[in-house]
């Protein structure tokens, strides 16, 4: 327990999806989250976000963990797997339902697209068709949460002040999908809260999800972590690097790739460390990482 007047110990996490091997884009998040947590003497947790079972690749979780170990990462506690936490998500959903925030929705994607008032950052904005109850004869497909009017604001560690009107950008969003699976937005909030995570470091592609998660944290009575969104690593063609671009091109013991990632994140890692072992490069990152140097712009992750 922290003493009066002191800040609680940092608890960070890395939460990859086991839909394939670790790739450079995910490694950027791993390095940033690890160095920022360890630099402050904090804990670093690993969670496998395997809730979307149709996308899970057999053996991918173990391969990701093996790659992390080979690069010198050390996590605290047991690896959490979302697929084993459905009871916790069910409990949170019922808590929100009891508060009058959850309603059943019978709309299909096609129907939402046809009636949406406009397209937001992540697709058509839900028009509120089922907000006041299902139409006669229709059956519930998904469960949604009622979002408030007004603007939600927070301060990101890289991008600074961020604000979003949930009602105008996403509308009432899904908490449980038509296939019965819990949505990412609910699961991540419940998991971070249960683990005591108070520093979330992840890719900038999730920046627009953060207001939804802060809204759910407030509704569930959970504390809001500090958020730090990292720039996305791009291919030479300007595409976001993902699993379809293949696994990490590890050479020797991986020191070179960690050196490149730290440079990508704006850290002045010495040139001579490029040929050092992975453990030594990662140790430099833990000892020197400065979030103030992280550039906000997505860009090509150079091999130079």
Domains (ranges, CATH) in the chain? 11-84+191-300 (3.40.50.620), 87-184 (3.40.50.620)
Query: Following CA atoms 199, 229, 112, 55 in sequence, which dihedral angle do they give, to the nearest 10 degrees?
Result: -80
SS3 99: coil
- 10-residue block means of pLDDT along the chain (304 residues)? 62 96 92 98 98 94 94 97 98 98 94 78 85 86 95 97 94 95 97 98 96 98 98 84 59 80 97 94 98 92 68
| Strand ranges inside 49-193, DSSP E | 80-81, 102-105, 119-120, 123-124, 142-145, 152-156, 160-164, 174-176
| Residues with active-site annotation | 243
Neighbours of 24 (CB within 10 A): 20
For residues 48 and 188, is the Cβ–Cβ distance under 8 A?
no
* C-alpha–C-alpha distance, residues 218 and 32, integer Å: 26
Q: In the prediction, which pLDDT does 248 show?
A: 59
């Amino acid at each position: 327990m922290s003493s009066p007047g002191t800040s609680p110990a940092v608890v960070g996490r890395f939460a990859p999806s086991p839909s394939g091997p670790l790739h450079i884009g995910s490694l950027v998040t791993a390095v940033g989250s690890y160095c920022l947590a360890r630099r402050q003497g904090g804990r670093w947790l690993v969670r496998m976000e395997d809730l979307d079972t149709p996308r899970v690749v057999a053996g991918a979780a173990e391969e990701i963990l093996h790659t992390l170990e080979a690069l010198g990462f050390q996590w605290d506690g047991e690896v959490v797997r979302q697929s084993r936490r459905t009871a916790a998500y069910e409990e949170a959903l019922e808590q929100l339902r009891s508060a009058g925030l959850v309603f059943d929705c019978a709309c299909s994607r096609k129907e939402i697209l046809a009636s949406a008032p406009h397209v937001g950052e992540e697709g058509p904005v839900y028009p509120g068709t089922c907000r006041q109850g299902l139409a006669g004869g229709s059956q519930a497909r998904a469960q949604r949460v009622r979002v408030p009017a007004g603007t939600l604001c927070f301060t990101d560690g890289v991008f600074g002040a961020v604000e979003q009107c949930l009602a105008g950008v996403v509308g009432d969003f899904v908490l449980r999908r038509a296939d019965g699976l819990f949505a990412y937005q609910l699961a991540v909030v419940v998991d971070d809260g249960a683990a005591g995570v108070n520093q979330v470091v992840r890719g900038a592609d999730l920046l627009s999800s953060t207001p939804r998660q802060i809204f759910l944290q407030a509704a569930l009575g959970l504390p809001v972590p500090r958020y730090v969104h990292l720039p996305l690593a791009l291919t030479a063609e300007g595409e976001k690097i993902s699993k379809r671009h293949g696994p990490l091109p590890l050479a020797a013991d991986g020191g070179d790739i960690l050196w490149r990632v730290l440079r990508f994140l704006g850290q002045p890692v010495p040139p001579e460390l490029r040929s050092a072992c992975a453990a030594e490069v990662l140790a430099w990152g833990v000892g020197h990482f400065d979030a103030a140097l992280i550039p906000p712009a997505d860009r090509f992750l150079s091999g130079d």
